[in-house]
Amino acid sequence: MNVLIFGATGMVGLGVLRECLLDPGVEQAVTIGRSATGLQNLKLREIVQKDLSDYSGSESQLTGFDACFFCLGVSSAGMNEEKYRRLTYDLTMAAARTLVKLNPEMTFIYVSGAGTDSSERGRSMWARVKGKTENDLMALPFAGIYAFRPAVIQPLHGIRSKTKAYQILYSFFGWTIPLLKPVLYPKYMTTTEQIGKAMLHVARQGYSKRILENVDINAV
């Protein structure tokens, strides 16, 4: 299986990339983003592209993939809806519309979030934007399209969050995670490793639901 990963320098994306490189069934893992991960692996190829809204100049590098794991995302903290929509909805749809044209048999998996608003009418700005992104992705004619909605994510294997506020929380309160896990798992907590393994499983075998909540991710 050849996989394409967006957002591989972030916490979730790096966890997914790690599992892809460890999986013997993955022949090649290609990352695409504004910067390279800096990792070295025979399976890994990296595409550095500053403008993630336009793939007209790189389409020749984006064919021949069985799955795309779209882990690119930003925190909505301090953003107005216009900017958050541009960095969330617009960038996701630009990539997806390009890929569905080049790889119609691909499985596309989008990292969304617990609490996403599928109605697109709720009070929470980020949840509405994520909901519209999910809804419009589901309308694209991929062979398979899924949205993952993790809740609390525990980073493993030395992976750190690029979001400063999240990393501060992990640094100061990470010791409480083992204590909270019996209460929060499996409904409200997962790990970077479990998300990566679940994505690979769903890419290969599909799933009964197109939207996977935290408990579904852990079940997979």
For residue 157, the model assigns a pLDDT of 83
Contact criterion met (CB below 8 Å) for 203 and 148: no
Q: Which of 127, 71, 114 is nearest to 95 (CA)?
A: 71
Triad 194, 112, 145: Cα angle to 5°: 85
Please tell me whether the overall predicted TM-score, pTM, comes out greater than 0.85 for this model: yes
Alpha-carbon Rg for the chain in angstroms:
16
For residue 158, the model assigns a pLDDT of 81
For residue 207, the model assigns a pLDDT of 98
Residue for token digits 């992990």? 170
Q: How far is the CA of 197 from the CAs of 25, 88, 191, 201, in angstroms?
A: 12, 24, 10, 6
Q: Name the stretches of the chain with pLDDT < 70.
A: 161-185
H or E, element range at 20: helix 11-22
CB atoms within 10 A of CB 116: 23
CB atoms within 10 A of CB 112: 26
For residue 134, the model assigns a pLDDT of 98
Can you give the residue range of the structural domain that contains 39? 2-219
What CATH number is attached to the domain comprising 120?
Answer: 3.40.50.720
Residue for token digits 């779209």? 70
For residue 188, the model assigns a pLDDT of 84
What φ, ψ does residue 42 adopt, rounded to 5°? -65, -25
181 burial type by CB count under 10 A (0-12 exposed, 13-18 middle, 19+ buried): middle
**What one-letter code names the amino acid at 35?**
S
Three-state secondary structure call for residue 141: coil
For residue 105, the model assigns a pLDDT of 97
Total of domains in the chain: 1
Contact criterion met (CB below 8 Å) for 151 and 188: yes
> Which positions ≥6 away from 11 have C-beta within 8 Å?
153, 155, 159, 160, 161, 162, 163, 166, 192
